[in-house]
Structure 1
């Protein structure tokens, strides 16, 4: 059999499988539609999260007759859920939710954009058949947390009109999914997109939603463009400390580093905290956990993950110079050549240019957006 015949045979097989799968999908959708039509367990948005009923208010049409002594004409109004506006206490307030790197008082709308970001996520709107509570949505949506190595997040349009992370106690009229288009290693590809679609559709049926899927070719192309930027700005900048004499004893070294403010990690690396729960830079002893001595330390700055205002490079060099005095060491590059102040100043200038490039691309170093892409 020739290569052409083999190719045609394979293409025919893929086509047959595709048609079979499409027919099965249509059967599945039809069955789910019938089940929903006759189901008696529809989500009741007039129930509180704890199961107690809310007070119901029927819509009232005002005919324009103002109270005595007033000239105000009230227009008829329906609440966002399609039922009359409820008293403020009738809709439970959404639970507080924070994200890594976000301030505790970050507004829900800002948190929502951090989760489903139009710049770095492939967005998929989901139209709900009826308003739904977060208590019912969350267990279903948590079934789809990632495709491949790309995280998937969901946000909801609350009945108060704001987009927010979906939480218990919230009532939502629309949803939006977002799958991250790139990571440090890869971009969203055709296989991952197909996995997303095949898993999202039954999930959407389960919550009574209809996804608006973007074109796969366009989504994958956009993902590749984003990954090119990530790959071009995936900079980790390191300097080394070389012992001028005998190797350092690991036990003594660990105590000295802890006294200088480093946090010890389980993998044997050390991290210099930034004071707000993040990391400025890390330090490695360049030996295994069971080693007794080392004659070289490496300080490493993950440049896109540290905001310029924190001066990660400046503080890393300052920390290295402090260790030089305490340990009798020399600052060297990866080729064991000494790094003098002039060379370090030139590197710092390049770091500032790097930060400006990221700012121009609207992905500032150290931002939530950058931390997601370069995590």
Structure 2
């Protein structure tokens, strides 16, 4: 065999080796990363609704005078209408008089009774007797402020209940309550915060199992919807501390192992979670840990990489927001804040 032929053979072999290596690299890059061993994702925790981008402000409206705290209805965030009755009303009658829906427009509506035995305000229960009632409708939520139509619906529902239990309601002035609703809505709108970080794959995509395994190592569990995970609160029944979301379509694929995920979202609904849970610190640490273990980048919604210094600055702004909510008696994670920012 001539030297020329041998040279061609060597070159051909090198080209073939390069093609094989290129195909192997391309296949590996395009194949979603798989979990080492599937981690069981236990428990199902409901996800909260997705929220909007945060806004931080230093201005603080003056807090209202102290109001009587009650379990449920609260003069801080509800319109209250006392209902006087001549004689204690059995819980069965009160329950039968409740309207079929517990909303007035987009606002929550409720009736509470003062238990004749305990003198505590509560939702009517069978076997109890109630010496007074109060009707309430929420002043504001993330859908906006209570308006004239919703106030009128509240009056009709409360009046119908009062008529059934032979009670006499005392309604506040609509104009005053609607104005109070607008002020509260303005405060809520300028002190609401829903944060999110996007984690993007640097090179190889991720499979759903790979995402779930890495998130589970940080304490995340399966949410109520495929492609959703949550970091549960330390107190049972409280909203989750953090949310993690990736493609629902990928999670529900016939063969999830071959579903390619290139990004996921970590989210925090600030007013819903107590400061004591250190939610932002846990969000930041989770983002950094996932980026390291999954070869990802922490970015904003536009794909810009977020440096660690920027994360620290966001945390400092959040501390100011927590202080503002505390001063308004709407501390993050409190029953009042969870209802207002819902």
TM above 0.5, yes or no, is yes
In structure 2, distance between residues paired with 1:335 and 1:287:
21
Instruction: Measure how far apart 1:181 and its partner are.
Output: 0.8
In the alignment, what sits opposite 1:232?
190
TM-score, normalization by structure 1: 0.67
Secondary structure class of the residue paired with 1:178:
strand
Instruction: Measure how far apart 1:112 and its partner are.
Output: 7.4
Equivalent positions of 1:204-223 (< 5 A) are 204-223=162-181
> Which runs of no fewer than 5 residues in structure 2 stay unpaired?
1-67, 254-258
Q: Contact 1:112 / 1:164 at 8 angstroms: preserved in 2?
A: no
In structure 2, distance between residues paired with 1:255 and 1:330:
18
In structure 1, distance between residues paired with 2:248 and 2:300:
18
In structure 2, distance between residues paired with 1:190 and 1:219:
9
TM-score, normalization by structure 2: 0.73
Distance 1:276 1:263, change over 3 A: same
Q: Contact 1:145 / 1:153 at 8 angstroms: preserved in 2?
A: yes
Secondary structure class of the residue paired with 1:362:
coil
In structure 1, distance between residues paired with 2:276 and 2:209:
34
Q: CA deviation digits over 1:180-233, x for unaligned, max 9? A: 111111211111111122232222111111110111111111111111111112
Q: Contact 2:291 / 2:298 at 8 angstroms: preserved in 1?
A: yes
Equivalent positions of 1:357-368 (< 5 A) are 357-368=324-335
In the alignment, what sits opposite 2:9?
none
In structure 2, distance between residues paired with 1:354 and 1:228:
15
In the alignment, what sits opposite 1:200?
158
Q: CA deviation digits over 1:84-117, x for unaligned, max 9? A: xxxxxxxxxxxxxxxxxxxxxxxxxxx9713110
Q: Which of 71, 82, 94 matches 1:125? A: 82
Distance 1:356 1:231, change over 3 A: same
After superposition, the CA RMSD in angstroms is 2.1
In structure 1, distance between residues paired with 2:261 and 2:142:
31
Q: CA deviation digits over 1:293-336, x for unaligned, max 9? A: 12111111101111111110000111112212210112122232
In structure 1, distance between residues paired with 2:247 and 2:195:
16
Query: Greater relative contact order: 1 or 2 (C-alpha under 8 angstroms, separation 6 or more)?
Result: 2
In structure 2, distance between residues paired with 1:202 and 1:319:
51
In the alignment, what sits opposite 1:308?
275
Instruction: Measure how far apart 1:131 and its partner are.
Output: 1.2
In the alignment, what sits opposite 1:330?
297
Secondary structure class of the residue paired with 2:318:
helix
Q: Which of 236, 246, 249 matches 1:288? A: 249
